[in-house]
Structure 1
Amino acid sequence: MPLLDRRQWNTRLAAFLAAAALPAARAAEPLKNVPALGAALRLPDVPLLEGGEFKAAAAQGQVVVVYWWASWCPFCAQVTPHIQKLWHAQRDRGLQVLGLSIDQDLAAAKAYRARRNYDFPSGCVTPAVEAILPKPQGLPVTVVRGRDGRVAAAETGQIFPEDVEALARFL
């Protein structure tokens, strides 16, 4: 390989640095449909996987954790047990959880929940649900709607168990 002159070396170095900075620049872009802190968050009525319905009107004035997940998502597999634990620990204090599966196969979502004994309220993202509450980019996504109907917290991707437990502070 021939030696590079100073100009060629500088050109290649600049190209390398620009390419290395690209992921950082993309990371600075906001993720699509992730609700902003303090924004009003409307909730839809959602048919639940195991029957019944999550009624948005019944959630008025309540703290609601909205959690997008999928049965095939490895990061969801790490977070979902802690969402279940949070719901069991805090539901008597008024915490509501609304899980929203993005699974295309309803049976797969139900089977996943049954195998793991998850019983926090969960439905599927349907066109009717997405018209009111669009699915944010990434998985899992955890959003807390405070008693005032506004976004109190929003996390994308895997979060630590202590971070899930800390969501109780919004009660």
Structure 2
Amino acid sequence: MNVARWNRRHWLQGTAALLLADPGRAAEPGAAPLPALGSVLPLAPASLLDGGRFEPREAEGRVLVLYWWASWCPFCAEQSPEMQKLWDAGRARGLRLLALSIDRRPDEAVAYLRRKGYTFPAAWLGPELARAYPKPEGLPVTVVRGKDGRVLQAEQGQMFPEDVAELARWL
């Protein structure tokens, strides 16, 4: 990785973490830590915004990408199209993805997904689901859970297109 790309990426990550905290979560005082590499990442069922359901058994023996995002987040707006590309390219190869919207209301997330044409599985991170999937500080946040249920990669802040595409290496 060249130095300019590294510096830009880390500047963006720091900016996202500091500036884009949901105002309702002011500086995210109870934000969960980013999951440690190698730690076991438990899963819970989730109602999807398209009316479907995510069941943990769907991710057994498969790679799962968890993606915390919001419709109002400019860094998420840059990363979400790349997540859609990852989903389109990887689902036939066994990739599972669960995008977790932290919008204030689920209808805001639904409208955004429809407007943008995103089809990746997304759920609204309401209070109940937030207990199962506590949001780490910053936005967006991307966590890769391996086939064995352990964290392979965890990223705070915007990932560049090539970095999102590289997540396919875990398949």
Task: Tell me the TM-score normalised to structure 1 length.
Answer: 0.80
**Which residue of 2 is the match for residue 19 of structure 1?**
none
Counterpart CA distance in 1 for 2:32 and 2:49 is 26
Letter in 1 for 2:134: P
SS in 2 for 1:68: strand
State the identity as a percent: 55
The question of 1:168 aligning with 2:152 is answered: no
- AA paired with 2:147? R
How far is the alpha carbon of 1:61 from its aligned partner?
A: 1.0
CA distance in 2, matches of 1:123, 1:129: 9
The letter for the 1-side match of 2:103 is D
Question: Highest CA radius of gyration, 1 or 2?
Answer: 1
Partner residue, 1:103: 103
Q: CA deviation at 1:37?
A: 0.5
1:107, distance to aligned residue in structure 2 (A) = 1.2
Q: Distance in 2 between matches of 1:109 and 1:97?
A: 16
Equivalent runs, 1:76-95 vs 2, <5 Å: 76-95=76-95
Deviation at 1:150, TM superposition (A): 0.3
- One-letter identity of the residue aligned with 2:127: P
Structure 1 residue 112 displacement after superposition: 0.4
Structure 1 residue 128: Cα displacement: 2.3
| Superposition deviation, residue 133 in structure 1 | 1.8
AA partner of residue 108 (structure 2):
A
Query: 1:149: which partner in 2?
Result: 149
Report how many aligned residue pairs link the two structures. 143
- How far apart are the structure 2 equivalents of 1:59 and 1:66? 11
Structure 1: distance between partners of 2:79 and 2:33: 20
**Where do 5+ consecutive residues of structure 1 fail to align?**
1-22
| Backbone CA RMSD of aligned residues | 1.5
Tell me the equivalent position of 1:117. Answer: 117
Q: Report how far residue 132 of structure 1 moved.
A: 1.9
What is the one-letter code of the residue matched to 1:67?
Answer: Y
Distance 2:32 2:50 in 1: 29
Q: Which residue of 2 aligns with 1:6?
A: none
Q: Distance in 1 between matches of 2:123 and 2:111?
A: 13
2:49 aligned with 1:65: no
Indicate if the aligned counterparts of 2:32 and 2:134 stay in contact, CA closer than 8 A: no
- 5+ residue gaps, structure 2, are 1-13, 19-30
Q: Which has the higher contact order (CA 8 A, sep 6+)?
A: 2
